[in-house]
Amino acid sequence: MNAYLILEDGTVFEGSSIGSTRETISEIVFNTSMTGYLEVLTDPSYAGQAVTMTYPLIGNYGICHKDMESLKAWPDGYIVRELSRVPSNFRSDDTIQNFLKDNDIPGICGIDTRALTKILREKGTMNGMITTDENYSLNEVIPRIKAFKATKVVEKVTCKEKSVLCGEGKKVALMDFGAKNNIARSLNKRGCEVTTYPARTSAEEILKSNPDGIMLTNGPGDPKECVEIIEEIKKLYNSNVPIFAICLGHQLMALATGADTHKLKYGHRGANHPVKDLQTGRVYISSQNHGYVVDEGTLDANVVIPAFVNVNDKTNEGLEYIGKNIFTVQFHPEACAGPQDTAYLFDRFINMMEVK
């Protein structure tokens, strides 16, 4: 069945339908990872977005359900150059085609994803529609595409109730803004007991449990939308509990302490982004998935100092809070399928809790 990707600027790509055949309008983004497509599909941070994979062949090692980063797939759509029809992997449970259908994810394959990525890099991230309707009218669909805006996506992806991952070490309260499973696993394998809370849990409830540390996780959407959550994070900041924050959590902590955020032209999404530790000068390769960054020009030098910087575009990648047991990063130290260069930051968090 034919499928069409229509961008808000009027550009149309024609290919073949994959997954669900329902029509979808979403923000079109691209990810440069060569592996880890299942982890991308099950990352809640992609809620409200359709993902273009720049690597030309996707699905060649099938689907292994143990590698999922959440219970379901979250993107609004999936865009690839070529979809492997026969996976080759002894761990494979299913094909990516069936996975997309089972999760009701519409997609398109057989298009020039390199040309699409160049458009998004030059013009910036834009909205688009994936449809199988051959009789579409550009005059009718483009206003609908331009009007799309992903809202309240954190509420969509967060857990519905508190849960506990047992451990015999430090007690960590994890605020789930769209958390990937490997964040809790990374803490748990270091001995921590991890209690996961829904995004709108009050600071009072979290602090009443007397945690040794607090984790603020990744998640989707514009951080400035999370007004009520930011107010609770202000209370957590004023406590003496050690805090480690990743991605959206990093942005929310910055907003809670008076800084600002802004949207990037086309974001950072992939497993090959170099970040520099400003204290040691060492460069690490990191996994990233975000469209917004903290604006360094708005930081209060009496409150916070930059800790990491993106080597490619010099945007902020991490912050350390003065006189507080708080540090935050924009990238993903828990990255699956990798790289694992910055996993040591979990050990730093453990050490911070032990010293406290």
Residues in the chain: 356
Question: Is 247 noted as a catalytic residue in this protein?
Answer: yes
Contact status, residue 135 vs residue 50, Cβ threshold 8 Å: no
| Separation between Cα atoms, residue 199 and residue 158, nearest integer Å | 6
Q: Please name the residues in contact with 71: beta carbons below 8 A apart, sequence gap of 6 or more.
A: 42
The closest alpha carbon to 49, from 19, 25, 66, 32, belongs to 25
Question: Is 334 noted as a catalytic residue in this protein?
Answer: yes
Active-site option among 27, 247, 290, 336:
247
Q: Which element (helix H / strand E) includes 143?
A: helix 138-147
Contact status, residue 298 vs residue 316, Cβ threshold 8 Å: no
Contact status, residue 237 vs residue 253, Cβ threshold 8 Å: yes
Active-site option among 27, 317, 332, 336:
332
Binding residues: 45, 219, 221, 248, 251, 289, 291-292
Question: Is 14 noted as a catalytic residue in this protein?
Answer: no
Binding residues for L-glutamine: 45, 219, 221, 248, 251, 289, 291-292
Active-site option among 109, 232, 334, 336:
334
Contact status, residue 208 vs residue 173, Cβ threshold 8 Å: no
* DSSP E strands, the chain: 2-7, 12-19, 24-31, 49-53, 57-58, 77-79, 82-83, 106-109, 126-131, 163-165, 171-176, 193-198, 213-216, 243-246, 260-277, 283-295, 304-310, 316-321, 326-329
Query: What are 217's two structure tokens?
Result: 């996780």
9: left (phi over 0), alpha (psi -120 to 50) or beta: alpha
* Active-site residue set: 247, 332, 334
